[in-house]
Amino acid sequence: MEAYLDNAATTKVSAAVMEKMNQVFMTDFGNPSSMHQKGMDAEQYIKEAKRQIADTLKCEPSELVFTSGGTESNNMALIGTALANKRAGNHIITTRIEHASVYQPLLFLEELGFKVTFAPVDEAGRVRVDELVDAVTDETILVSVMYVNNEIGCVEPIAEIAKRIKEKNPKVLFHVDAIQAYGKMKIQPAKEGIDLLSVSGHKIHGPKGSGFLYIKNKTKIKPILHGGGQEKGMRSGTENVPAIAGLGQAAKDMYANLEVNRKHLFALKERLAERLSKVEGVTLNGIPKEGIPATAPHVLSVSFAGIRSEVLLHALEERGVYVSSGSACSSNHPDISGTLVAIGVKKELLDATLRFSFSVTTTTEEVDYAADCVETLLPQLRRFFRK
């Protein structure tokens, strides 16, 4: 049996998305900037995808810019707004648990002379809002907080953060990395006070290399790619029409069944959490006092005392169970997870933690099989590891 439980890293492209993309690849393959009919047909896919995504966010299609994925969206949001607003100030605030595609652009901006403050989080991964707000000054131009953490699945109080930072400094722009939240949660940027919102397609059964950035109308931002002026000058380069069409289809499908999907994902998460929590030396990470329903439905972080995560990961892989030892985007680097350190995970568990993540296609049988494998393997590996 095979159990793919690494859906926070990437999801399988859906049949509907494949069908839509194939239509573009094989039939409507024109360049959307071309003036002839083939070009206009291709352009219609872009317009359709923007309408589909705008419907999910209750925003205007004109507020969306298509990108190559979450990393580009985050870079565009952070670098583009920082450069556009540097006369208003040079201070940026983020948290200690952000993804590398936020953290690294901010380090780059520090090299350009911007000052970055990293707000702390509690033991469940939630931002300490009072301390974040206290850090806001007249020089603060941008705050960036992820909606859902990609490693432990904690959900941040986005609307509260937006309200409080803007009360203290109305000129502050608020960016949200929603790459793990979009498609799993109801998100309305205008209602929640979000100025910029990053999304990636391959987390929601869309294609890799697809994504978008929501930019609230009249937000001051500079493009970071220059060329032919596509996407109203914000993202030059010939649009990846098949990927855009697939992304629009994926967004439409995920939100058409949002509540059913959430119920299914939470059931899987709670089932696996219950099974694993009964195993000796197992700790669940990022679960607040309110319990699992207060977290994202598709991510479960688990620490296993007495065994290295890499050893257990590959032992599970040999049995057809696929999980992650952290963020897939940083899995090639041996550095200890900054998220686990920030929430106070014990030192001996920092390199003993796995992430299980689910999708709408994950079955109860897969979860039970994974739990069975963990229960069987752990005692064997611990005896070997202690030697």
Query: What's the rounded Cα separation, in Å, for the pair 208 and 290?
Result: 34
Q: Token digits for 261?
A: 């999907």
Largest CA distance in the chain: 71
Q: Which residue among 59, 154, 329, 373 is the active-site one?
A: 329
Residue 59 annotated among the catalytic residues of the structure: no
The number of beta carbons lying within 10 Å of the beta carbon of residue 155 is: 22
Q: What crossing angle do the helices spanning 241-256 and 15-26 adopt, rounded to 10°?
A: 150
Judged by phi (left if over 0) then psi (alpha if -120 to 50, else beta), residue 58 lies in left
Element (H, E) at 104: helix 100-111
Q: Token digits for 156?
A: 């941040």
CA R_g for the chain: 21
Query: What's the rounded Cα separation, in Å, for the pair 250 and 383?
Result: 45
HSE at residue 331, side-chain half, CA atoms within 13 A, is 18
The SS3 assignment for 356 reads: strand
Which strands make up the sheet holding 140-146, listed edge to edge? 64-67, 211-215, 196-200, 173-177, 140-146, 91-95, 115-119
Give the single-character DSSP code of 337.
P
Query: What's the rounded Cα separation, in Å, for the pair 208 and 230?
Result: 21
Nearest to 348 by CA among 314, 313, 309, 384: 309
Query: What's the rounded Cα separation, in Å, for the pair 110 and 93?
Result: 12
The structure tokens 């936020």 sit at: 102
Query: What's the rounded Cα separation, in Å, for the pair 245 and 216?
Result: 22
Give me the sign of the Cα torsion angle 137, 142, 146, 151: negative
Query: What's the rounded Cα separation, in Å, for the pair 122 and 287?
Result: 11
Query: What's the rounded Cα separation, in Å, for the pair 29 and 75?
Result: 29
Instruction: Catalogue the active-site residues.
Output: 329
